[in-house]
């Protein structure tokens, strides 16, 4: 899959933002006044900034309101609704903390639930794709939710919880690599089933339909990620998990917390890039490529 | 609406005969021509006169080499367009309701004025049947020439998809799969029409007819024995010429 920068930025930062909102909603921490203001601004910058970035790759972003209409079948529509509802609830909850010093816990819990649902619906956009066997697995929601909650806890200053959740996120990531590497082969979809010619013999793509490239090849066939997959996995895992976990274990100051968060974000960006770049869409089989 | 109809009154679609297709790409050209000038946004090209040309097509012809366990490899031309699946995954993922499958005839269409160009339907389609037009920013796909098949301004023989009408080999057939006596249903039954990627559960309406088995006779032609290479044994004049020329400096032995 083509790793579009807008989608990588969107999933990474909205995941972090909603993760932070989740912990704020649970009252962990429950700051008031200026401190609360800083926390909520940070969370909204990440969540809303991420959502805005996701509109950059649309052909007609001005029609975005229509995208809230098909919640009965579409995970993308559900995600949009969940995100907006959550942001509205948490804006009220945040306003209470910032301006009135009041903690409306029920609103916070609802907002936390909404944050979890939003990240879950984001992950289902990918996990639902039968056409991308690597994604169609429980480890995809596992990665998205654990990254979001772990990164959110890190930003919320919940040291112990962050430590545990980053370990869980790393475990989900490794599981998705180990399982994901065999998903295409295990899916049973091959160039033979794609063409229906397997009963005759071994099929090979002989001549493509055109001399140049096309939308499908640009969108679905990406080989650079796979070429450097192992290196990128190591870099992503070190930056995303090992460095922040080490900082958390050593002890948290403002500086180490900042470094831990910066390293985590860089790592998640690399891992998210790989999440797309490594994923094989079955349409590549028609072109004799993966 | 992105909810699929539980059943459709008709199941309009294509039968594509892989035995007959000669790979001339006439269907590609006629499709591009008709659908650029008619329903919806035109099918744009980018850098059409450069070395890096690309463009939107609703129908593309691949060619595959198939190597049986024994004998000669076969070359099979393989036209591919929207299969108008009964369980179309492209429709249900659409967030705006722009993609839909018609209850009356089963055609899968895009309402371009509602499409936000997110591309998710193209992700969901295993067949590469949908392409986002780079100029218009909306999703394009085969409409089964919905603006031809019901068009009473056209002569009766032209009321079929442009690709079917133009195919010089008769490799493409259009009809109603819900009617067991239709041309396409009979062809599918007689020739073992098959689904592409059946394991993905999309239940395609379009069917592909597999190539017929190759003739197994070794006598391909009554003239064949007379056409064998003359100098294989290196006898006579040709044999002498071969030796003489090989004796020159630089000659091959």
Q: What residues form DSSP beta bridges with B109?
A: B100
What are phi and psi for residue B61, nearest 5 degrees?
-110, 115
Mean pLDDT per block of 10 residues along chain B (253 residues) reads 86 97 96 93 92 92 95 93 96 96 96 95 97 96 96 96 97 97 97 96 96 76 69 73 83 64
Q: Report the distance separating Cα B71 and Cα B235, nearest Å.
A: 31
Q: Report the distance separating Cα A59 and Cα A128, nearest Å.
A: 23
Minimum-distance CB partner of A212 among B52, B201, B211: B52
Query: Residues of B numbered 5-34 whose beta carbons fall under 8 angstroms of chain A's beta carbons: which are they?
Result: 18, 25, 28
Q: Write out the two tokens for B13.
A: 């679609």
Minimum-distance CB partner of B62 among A66, A80, A208: A208
CA atoms within 13 A on the CB side of B18: 32
Q: What's the full length of chain A, in residues?
A: 290
Please confirm whether the linkage preceding A211 is cis (ω < 30° from 0): no
Q: Write out the two tokens for A163.
A: 């430590």
pLDDT at B242: 81
pLDDT at B185: 97
Q: Report the distance separating Cα B85 and Cα A66, nearest Å.
A: 24
Chain B closest-CA separation from residue A3 CA (Å): 13
pLDDT at A119: 97
pLDDT at A23: 97
pLDDT at A21: 97
CA atoms within 13 A on the CB side of A144: 25
C-alpha R_g of chain B: 25
Cβ contact A131–B89 (<8 Å):
yes
Minimum-distance CB partner of A206 among B65, B119, B133: B65
- ipTM value greater than 0.90: yes
DSSP state, A242? I
The Cα-based distances of B63 to A209, A250, A281, B233 in angstroms read 7, 60, 20, 38
Q: Which of A3, A68, A214, A220 to mutate to test the interface with B (most CBs of B within 10 A)?
A: A214
3-class SS at A19? helix
> Vertex B250, ends B246 and B253: CA angle to 5°?
35
Cβ atoms of B117 and B132 within 8 Å: the answer is yes
Minimum-distance CB partner of B62 among A69, A209, A220: A209
DSSP state, B226? G
Contacts of B172 (CB under 8 A, 6+ apart): B14, B15, B16, B17, B27, B79, B161, B163, B164
Q: Residue A219: closest CA among chain B residues belongs to which residue?
A: B123
Torsional sign, CA A209, A212, A217, A221: positive
All structural domains of chain B: 12-209 (3.30.70.20), 219-253 (no CATH)
Q: Report the distance separating Cα B17 and Cα A286, nearest Å.
A: 18
pLDDT at A215: 92
Cβ contact A283–B198 (<8 Å):
no
Helix (H) or strand (E) holding A145, with range, is helix A139-156
Chain B closest-CA separation from residue A207 CA (Å): 5
Q: Report the distance separating Cα A196 and Cα A56, nearest Å.
A: 38
Pairing relation of β-strands B59-67 and A202-207? antiparallel
Q: Report the distance separating Cα A240 and Cα A169, nearest Å.
A: 10
Cβ contact B28–A211 (<8 Å):
no
What are phi and psi for residue A203, nearest 5 degrees?
-100, 140
Residue whose pair of structure tokens reads 């594509």 in the numeric block: B16
All structural domains of chain A: 5-287 (1.20.1630.10)
pLDDT at A60: 93
Pairing relation of β-strands B207-209 and B12-17? parallel
Q: Report the distance separating Cα B18 and Cα B187, nearest Å.
A: 13
On the 0-12 / 13-18 / 19+ scale of CB atoms within 10 A, B88 is buried
Chain B closest-CA separation from residue A118 CA (Å): 15
Q: Report the distance separating Cα B67 and Cα A241, nearest Å.
A: 48
Give exposure, B166-190, as e/b (b: 16+ Cβ within 10 Å): bbeeebbbbbbbbeeebebbbbbee
Cβ atoms of B123 and B137 within 8 Å: the answer is no
| Chain A residues with beta carbon closer than 8 angstroms to that of B201 | 130
Q: What residues form DSSP beta bridges with B59?
A: B81
> By 3-state DSSP, what share of chain A in percent is helix, strand and coil, each rounded to 5?
75, 0, 25
Helix (H) or strand (E) holding A25, with range, is helix A5-25
Pairing relation of β-strands B12-17 and B172-176? antiparallel
Minimum-distance CB partner of A200 among B1, B25, B68: B68
pLDDT at B232: 63
| Chain B residues with beta carbon closer than 8 angstroms to that of A210 | 54, 57, 60
Q: Report the distance separating Cα A287 and Cα A284, nearest Å.
A: 5
What are phi and psi for residue B46, nearest 5 degrees?
-115, 135
| Chain B residues with beta carbon closer than 8 angstroms to that of A197 | 18, 64, 66, 76, 210-211
pLDDT in tens for each of the 290 residues of chain A? 998 889 999 999 999 999 999 999 999 988 888 999 999 999 999 999 989 988 888 999 999 999 999 999 999 999 999 999 999 999 999 999 999 988 999 999 999 999 999 999 999 999 999 999 999 999 999 999 999 999 999 999 999 999 999 999 999 999 999 999 999 999 999 999 999 999 999 999 999 998 888 999 999 988 777 788 899 999 999 999 999 999 998 888 888 899 999 999 999 999 999 999 999 999 999 999 87
């Amino acid at each position: 899959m083509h790793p579009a920068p807008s989608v990588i930025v969107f999933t990474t930062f909205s995941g972090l933002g909603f993760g932070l909102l989740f912990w704020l909603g649970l009252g962990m921490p429950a700051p008031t006044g200026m401190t609360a203001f800083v926390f909520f601004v940070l969370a909204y910058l990440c969540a809303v900034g991420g959502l805005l970035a996701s509109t950059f790759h649309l052909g007609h972003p001005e029609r975005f309101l229509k995208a809230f209409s098909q919640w009965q079948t579409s995970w993308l529509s559900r995600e949009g609704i969940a995100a907006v509802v959550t942001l509205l609830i948490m804006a009220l909850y945040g306003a209470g903390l910032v301006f009135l010093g009041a903690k409306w816990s029920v609103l916070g819990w609802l907002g936390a639930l909404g944050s979890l649902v939003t990240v879950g619906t984001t992950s289902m956009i990918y996990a639902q794709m039968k056409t991308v066997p690597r994604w169609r697995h429980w480890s995809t929601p596992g990665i998205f939710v654990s990254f979001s909650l772990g990164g959110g806890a890190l930003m919320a200053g919940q040291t112990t919880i962050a430590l545990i959740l980053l370990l869980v996120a790393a475990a989900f990531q490794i599981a998705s690599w180990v399982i994901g590497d065999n998903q295409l082969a295990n899916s049973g979809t091959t160039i033979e089933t794609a063409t229906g010619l397997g009963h005759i013999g071994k099929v090979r793509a002989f001549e493509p339909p055109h001399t140049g490239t096309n939308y499908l090849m640009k969108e679905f066939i990406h080989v650079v990620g796979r070429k450097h997959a192992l290196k990128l996995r190591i870099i992503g895992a070190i930056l995303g998990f090992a460095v922040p976990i080490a900082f958390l274990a050593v002890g948290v100051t403002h500086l180490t917390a900042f470094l831990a968060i910066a390293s985590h974000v860089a790592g998640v960006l690399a891992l998210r890039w790989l999440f797309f770049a490594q994923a094989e869409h079955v349409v590549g089989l028609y072109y004799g490529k993966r | 609406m992105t909810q699929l109809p539980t059943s459709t009154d008709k199941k309009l679609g294509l039968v594509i005969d892989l035995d007959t297709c000669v790979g001339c790409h006439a269907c590609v050209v006629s499709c591009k021509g008709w659908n650029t000038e008619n329903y919806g946004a035109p099918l744009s090209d980018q850098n059409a006169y450069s070395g890096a040309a690309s463009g939107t097509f609703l129908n593309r012809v691949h060619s595959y080499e198939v190597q049986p366990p024994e004998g000669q490899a076969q070359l099979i031309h393989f036209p591919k367009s929207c299969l108008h699946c009964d369980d179309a995954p492209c429709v249900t993922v659409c967030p705006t309701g722009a993609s839909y499958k018609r209850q009356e005839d089963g055609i899968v269409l895009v309402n371009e004025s509602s499409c936000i160009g997110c591309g998710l339907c193209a992700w969901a389609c295993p067949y590469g049947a949908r392409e986002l037009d780079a100029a218009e920013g909306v999703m394009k796909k085969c409409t089964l020439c919905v603006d031809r098949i019901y068009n009473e301004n056209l002569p009766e023989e032209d009321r079929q998809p442009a690709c079917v009408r133009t195919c010089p080999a008769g490799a493409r057939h259009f009809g109603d799969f819900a009617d067991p006596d239709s041309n396409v249903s009979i062809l599918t039954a007689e020739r073992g029409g098959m689904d592409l990627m059946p394991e993905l559960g999309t239940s395609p309406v379009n069917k592909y007819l597999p190539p017929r088995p190759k003739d197994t006779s070794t006598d391909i032609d009554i003239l064949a024995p007379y056409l064998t290479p003359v100098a294989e044994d290196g006898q006579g004049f040709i044999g002498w010429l071969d030796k003489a020329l090989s004796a020159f400096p630089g000659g091959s032995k």
